[in-house]
Every structure is written in structure tokens, then in C-alpha cells.
């Protein structure tokens, strides 16, 4: 590692913790729990620290000293020599969700997740613990929390030292937090045998943005050191048609994925023809270009390879509905309702198919459930081009405000 970069990294301190939870009621969670934990935490954290009625951070007199904007809307210091072109700095915390795909937890079951705090955010550990305690006792997480499910208690919090050993720092029963931990830097970590080689394994969903746009980037792009965007543009289009899915279908088709995009996606599929997400991304790209026949074929292949993953079925149903294949789209919708009786189905899967079928009211009902259940596929809602016809609907603005994406 270059000396200058190493010296800069050594200035960054961090502390990693493990939260050990015990289910007080039934928990019904999605297979990937990161968005659920982070979304619910953000809501409770703001409720915990905010003392003004209007709840608008941008016009709050306390925003420079308040914990919430520092954690969730971290400003760039005015005298900073770096990142001056960015509006916000990266958030100083990382939630490391459990990687097991279990969706149902009985009362008494255990669950744990990791939390890494960076720099000054380490001082806010008590806020994090208290907010997660409030979340478990009052708000709940996951499906059914409005009816009393989703409650949990923090049994303990441990600090993770440089060699991975956990040392207790918080007792959930006694409500006592000790200071028996200290921040680490990369100097405290075991040295790699080859510090010039970094291998990145994506264990959880990853969002990449560049120039304020959400990008779906294939891992082979790193080989060529290029950013590759596939799918629809994240920029808002200039034409919005309110509640008119037929008009949306009639919009002129965009060009097919360019040569570089097509080459990158094809390379992934050549390396592994059974790459589920390669076919899925190809389907998203084709649908964004209104090439529905190709989109349906790619999405259908992704569903087959995934064994019928509910999250992917919704995207196939969307493409079918938008292309006019409403009978098959409705059949998929019925199948998702049957699947919901014995397994988790992301609310967005229902919403996407209803959008394809021009059933706007039902779509908004499921989108609201997506916000309630912290469906991770709600996160890029401002970039989905198939939602353009509905952006003038007051319900869409309400969704954005519920997600803190608009004031």
C-alpha cells in the first residue's frame, strides 16, 4: 500500500460491536435483514434525538450540533480539502446484518448483528443502543409489527477487538454500559500477506452511485477499471404522464444497451451462464429500453435459475404486464399470494406486477407496505423509470417523505 494512503488511513479510528437480541414476540423478517434494521433504526433514531416540532433538519437551528444530521446527513466541513464537490460525506456507521436467510423467529429465538462506528460516531454508541432498544420495545421490525409482532430485547452488546474476540460492554438487563473498549485503526489489524491485492466479496446487496445517479455495476467492470451502468437511467425524465400506463407503454423506445454495456453483461454470462443476477440485470436493461421480448426472456431465465425467487418473480410480472401479457402477469400475482402463506414475499414484488397491470391503487397500497416493512427494493424508488407516470400523484410524494427522501 502506498505510504501516503496508508498514513491517511491510519488516522481513521473505528470500533466494531455485536448486538445480541432475543425475540419477545414472533419476528417475520425478509431473507436480507439489513434494510429492515437500518430503516427502522433511522426512524427511531430521529424520534429519539429530535426536539423540534417541524422535524426538518435543513432549517433546524440545532443541526450543526444534533446527532441525527451528523449520523444520517453528515455534512462536509467547510474547510475540508477533500470531497468539496460532494454535498454529504459517507455515513459514519455500518450495520452488518445477519447473513442467514431465516424469515420466521419464534419468541425466545436469538438474533445478532454487527455495528461499526467510525471516527467521532463512536461517541454516539449510547444513542445507537438506546434507539435499538426503543425499536425493539415500542416499534418492532418486520411484517406484522403493527399488530404486535416484531418485538425484541437487547440481551447484550459486545465490542469486537482486533483479533475478533468479543468483550461485553453493555448488559441489556441491568442497562449498564461500560467503557471497556477502545477505538482501533488499521495498524491494529493483522497484516495481509499481500497488501497490494484486495478481493471484494459481495455478501449483502450493494448500491453504487456516481454523479448522483444510482448504478448497477457488474463486478467485471473492476477488471477493466470502468464504471458500467445497465438498466434505465437514474435521471428523472422530462415527460410525466399521470396514471396512464398505456401512455407509458407508448413512449418511444430508447436505444439498446451500448456495446460496452452489452459486452460486460455478456462476459458475465459467458463466465457463468447460470449467473442469476446477470440475467436479472440484462432483463432490467432491456425493460428500461422497452425491449420487452428480450426483457421477459432474461427475467424468465433469472426466475428459473433462482428456483422461483419471489423477489425476481415481481420483475418478470412487471415486464409481462407492460408488454401486454396480462394473463401471465396475473397468474404470477396469484402465485405470489399463495407463496405468501408460507414464505416471505417482498411487497415490491406485488407492487411491480400491479403497476404492469395498470392497477395503480393496489400498487400504492403495496408500495406503502414496502416502506412499512423496509423492503430494500424501495431504496432506489426515485430512479425507477417505470414509476415516472405516477410521480405527480400526491401518494408518490407522500411515499418519498415517509422514506425521508424529500422534506
Pairing status of strand 104-105 against strand 93-96: unpaired
In sequence order, what DSSP letters do the residues of 19-65 get, joined into one string? EEEEESS-EE--SS-HHHHHHHHHHHHHHHH--SSS--GGG-TTTTT
From the DSSP assignment, how many helices (H) and strands (E) are in the chain? 13, 10
User: What are the structural domains, with CATH classification, of the chain?
Assistant: 11-188 (no CATH), 208-402 (1.25.40.10)
pLDDT of residue 213: 55
pLDDT of residue 395: 93
The Cα 184–Cα 17 span in angstroms is 12
Are 354 and 362 in contact by the 8 Å Cβ rule? The answer is: yes
The Cα 265–Cα 83 span in angstroms is 31
Per-residue pLDDT of the chain (407 residues; tens, 9 = 90+): 455 556 777 788 999 999 999 999 999 998 889 888 988 898 899 888 888 888 788 788 887 778 888 888 777 766 666 666 666 778 899 999 998 888 899 999 999 999 999 998 999 999 999 999 999 999 999 888 888 899 999 999 999 999 899 999 999 999 999 988 999 988 888 776 555 566 666 677 666 665 555 555 444 333 333 333 333 222 222 222 233 344 334 443 444 444 444 544 554 444 444 567 778 888 888 888 888 999 999 999 989 888 888 889 999 999 999 999 999 999 999 999 998 877 788 899 999 999 999 999 999 999 999 888 878 788 888 888 899 999 999 999 999 888 888 76
CA-nearest of 289, 284, 311 to 299 is 284
pLDDT of residue 207: 65
352: alpha, beta or left? (left if phi > 0; alpha if psi -120 to 50): alpha
For residue 402, give the C-alpha cell: 415517509
Pairing status of strand 110-118 against strand 93-96: antiparallel
> CA 403 from chain center: how many Å?
12
Q: Residue ranges of the alpha helices (H) in 306-406?
A: 310-323, 326-340, 347-356, 360-372, 394-402
Distances (CA, A) of 255 to 210, 291, 353: 22, 9, 25
In sequence order, what DSSP letters do the residues of 207-246 get, joined into one string? -EEETTEEE---GGGGTTT-----SS-SSPPS---TT-HH
Are 80 and 98 in contact by the 8 Å Cβ rule? The answer is: no
Helices 34-49 & 125-134, crossing angle to 10 degrees? Answer: 100
CA-nearest of 91, 109, 87 to 100 is 109
Amino acid at each position: 500500500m502506498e505510504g501516503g494512503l496508508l498514513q491517511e488511513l491510519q488516522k481513521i479510528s473505528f470500533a466494531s460491536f455485536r448486538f445480541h437480541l432475543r425475540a419477545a414476540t414472533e419476528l417475520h423478517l425478509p431473507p436480507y435483514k439489513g434494510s429492515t434494521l437500518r430503516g427502522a433504526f433511522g426512524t427511531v433514531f430521529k424520534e429519539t434525538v429530535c426536539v423540534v416540532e417541524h422535524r426538518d433538519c435543513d432549517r433546524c437551528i440545532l443541526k450543526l450540533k444534533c446527532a441525527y444530521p451528523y449520523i444520517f446527513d453528515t455534512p462536509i466541513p467547510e474547510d475540508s480539502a477533500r470531497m468539496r464537490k460532494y454535498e454529504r460525506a459517507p455515513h459514519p456507521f455500518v450495520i452488518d446484518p445477519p447473513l442467514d436467510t431465516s424469515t420466521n423467529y419464534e419468541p425466545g429465538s436469538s438474533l445478532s448483528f454487527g455495528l461499526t462506528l467510525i471516527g467521532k460516531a463512536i461517541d454516539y454508541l449510547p444513542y445507537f443502543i438506546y434507539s435499538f432498544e426503543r425499536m425493539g420495545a415500542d416499534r418492532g421490525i418486520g411484517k406484522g409489527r403493527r399488530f404486535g409482532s416484531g418485538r425484541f430485547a437487547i440481551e447484550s452488546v459486545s465490542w469486537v477487538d482486533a483479533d475478533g474476540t468479543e468483550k461485553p460492554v453493555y448488559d441489556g438487563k441491568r442497562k449498564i454500559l461500560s467503557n471497556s473498549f477502545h477505538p482501533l485503526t488499521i495498524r491494529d489489524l493483522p497484516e495481509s500477506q499481500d497488501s497490494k491485492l484486495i478481493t471484494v466479496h459481495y455478501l449483502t446487496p450493494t448500491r453504487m452511485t456516481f454523479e448522483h445517479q444510482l448504478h448497477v455495476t457488474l463486478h467485471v467492470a473492476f477488471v477493466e477499471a470502468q464504471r458500467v451502468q445497465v438498466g434505465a437511467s437514474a435521471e428523472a425524465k422530462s415527460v410525466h404522464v399521470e396514471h396512464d400506463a398505456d401512455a407509458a407503454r407508448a413512449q418511444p423506445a430508447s436505444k439498446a444497451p451500448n456495446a460496452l454495456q452489452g459486452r460486460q453483461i455478456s462476459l458475465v454470462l459467458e463466465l457463468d451462464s447460470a449467473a442469476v443476477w446477470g440475467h436479472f440485470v440484462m432483463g432490467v436493461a432491456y425493460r428500461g429500453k422497452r425491449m420487452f421480448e428480450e426483457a421477459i426472456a432474461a427475467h424468465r431465465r433469472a426466475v428459473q435459475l433462482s428456483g422461483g425467487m419471489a423477489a425476481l418473480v415481481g420483475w418478470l410480472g412487471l415486464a409481462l404486464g407492460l408488454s401486454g401479457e396480462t394473463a401471465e402477469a396475473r397468474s404470477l400475482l396469484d402465485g405470489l399470494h399463495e407463496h405468501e402463506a408460507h414464505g416471505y414475499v417482498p411487497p415490491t414484488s406485488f407492487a411491480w406486477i400491479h403497476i404492469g397491470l395498470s392497477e395503480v391503487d393496489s400498487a400504492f397500497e403495496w408500495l406503502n407496505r414496502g416502506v412499512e416493512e423496509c423492503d430494500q427494493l424501495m431504496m432506489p424508488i426515485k430512479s425507477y423509470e417505470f414509476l415516472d407516470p405516477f410521480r405527480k400523484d400526491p401518494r408518490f410524494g407522500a411515499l418519498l417523505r415517509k422514506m425521508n427522501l424529500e422534506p
